[in-house]
Structure 1
C-alpha cells in the first residue's frame, strides 16, 4: 500500500479532506463521468452513506473543488499584481503564477481546467464557475490590452496570444515533475522569457515569481 493509499483509508484523518483528495485524484485520472460514489467510498474506506454524510452529491463535490481552486488562483494572482505597474512585470507575474500553480497542483488544476463540462448546464454552480473562469481570464485580457495600448506589447491578435500563453502555462500539469531536469523556478523564468518574446516586449528585467505566495490546495494528492 502506498503512502497516499494509507492516508486515504486512515480513519483518524479528516474524512472530508480525504474525500476531496480522492475525488481530485479520481476525477483527474479517469474523469468525473467515470467516477461513481462507490469509487470514492472504496478509495477512502467508507460506505456510500458515509460519503453523503460529508457531501450532498458528486456534482456538489466537483463544484466545490472547482470553486475553491479558481478562487485560490484569482486571489493569489490579484495579490501579486497589486504591487506591479508595468505591463511586462504584470504579464510575467501572470505567466509565472499560472505555470507554478499547474506544476505544483497538477491534479486539482486538471479538474479545474477540464471538468466544467460535467456541471449541469444552466445550474447555479455552472454559472458560478464560468464567472470565476472569466474573471481570471479578464486579468490576462487587461494586461495584454494595456501593454498594447502603451506600445510595450506588439501583437496582431490579443485573444490568440492570450490563449497561446495560457496553454503554455497550464501544460505543466501534464509534464512537470519535482526533481526533474529543470527546477520550477527555471521553468517559470523560461516561460516568462518566451511569453515576453511572444508579445515583442523587447529587453526587460522582471522579478522571479514568488512561489511562496501561491495558493495551497490541502486536498492535492501528494506524489500522485
Structure 2
C-alpha cells in the first residue's frame, strides 16, 4: 500500500483530489491561516501555478471542502433517519451517526467544525456553509423538541442539551483510533446510552446505524 506522502506526490494520480487531500491534512493539522499555497504545492509536488490551475484561491478550496462535507453530512443523515419516527430513535441515530462520521473522517470533520471562521464574513460561501450547518442541526432541534413535546424527553434547556450532545459526538475526531481499546460500534452504543440518559428517555433498546449509509469523503487522508 502506498504511503500518504507517495500518493500526494504521485503525478499519475488525480491532481485535484491530491490537492484536496493535502489541503484537508494541512488545514486540520496546522490550521487554514498557517497554510499557504506554497505549502500545498510542496505537499503535492506542483508549482504554485499548478495549484491555481485546479483551484481559484485558497479560500475557494476551503469553501468547496466545507460545502461538500456538510452536504455529505446532511444527505447521509437523511438516509439514516429515513422512516424513523420516534424521537428517541432519531436522537439515538443522530448521536451514533455523527460520532461515526467524525471517527471515520477525522481530518475532514476537524476542518468542517473549526474553519468556518476562516471564510470571509458575509461572503456567499460563508452564508451558504452556515445555512448548510443550520439545516443539519435542525434535525437535532426537531428530535429534541418532539421528544419534549411528547413527554419522552425531560430537559431544562434544549439548546444546551443539543450543544453538549453534539460536542460529545464530534470529539471523536480528536481521540478515536481504530486500533484503540473500543470498537467504533462500542463507542457509538455508549454515546447513545449517555445521550438518552441525558434527556431522561425511557430505558429501551436503541437502533444502531448502518455505517454503510455514512458519507465517503474521497479526499480524507488515509491513516493520517
TM-score category (smaller protein): over 0.9
Residues 85-100 of structure 1 aligned to structure 2 (within 5 Å): 85-100=85-100
Aligned-pair CA distance for 1:208:
1.3
Cα separation, 2, equivalents of 1:58 and 1:93: 35
Q: 123-132 vs 77-86, which deviates more?
A: 77-86
| 1:12-40 per-position Cα deviation (integer Å, ceiling 9, x unaligned) | 00000000000000000000000000000
Q: CA RMSD in A?
A: 0.7
| 1:68-93 per-position Cα deviation (integer Å, ceiling 9, x unaligned) | 00000011101211221101100001
Q: SS of 1:179's equivalent? A: coil
| 1:180-210 per-position Cα deviation (integer Å, ceiling 9, x unaligned) | 1000000000000000000000211112111
Structure-1 residue corresponding to 2:56: 56
Q: Is 2:73 aligned against 1:76? A: no
Cα separation, 1, equivalents of 2:83 and 2:6: 43
| 1:147-187 per-position Cα deviation (integer Å, ceiling 9, x unaligned) | 00000000000000000000000000000001110000000
Q: SS of 1:154's equivalent? A: coil
Residues 4-83 of structure 1 aligned to structure 2 (within 5 Å): 4-83=4-83
Structure-2 residue corresponding to 1:187: 187
Aligned-pair CA distance for 1:109:
0.2
Q: SS of 1:181's equivalent? A: coil
TM-score if structure 1 supplies the norm length?
0.98
Cα separation, 2, equivalents of 1:126 and 1:207: 35
Q: SS of 1:155's equivalent? A: coil
The answer to whether the Cα contact below 8 Å between 1:88 and 1:204 also exists between their aligned partners in 2 is: no
Residues 162-181 of structure 1 aligned to structure 2 (within 5 Å): 162-181=162-181
Q: SS of 2:120's equivalent? A: coil
Q: Which runs of 5+ in 1 are unaligned?
A: none
Cα separation, 2, equivalents of 1:178 and 1:85: 32
Q: SS of 1:16's equivalent? A: helix
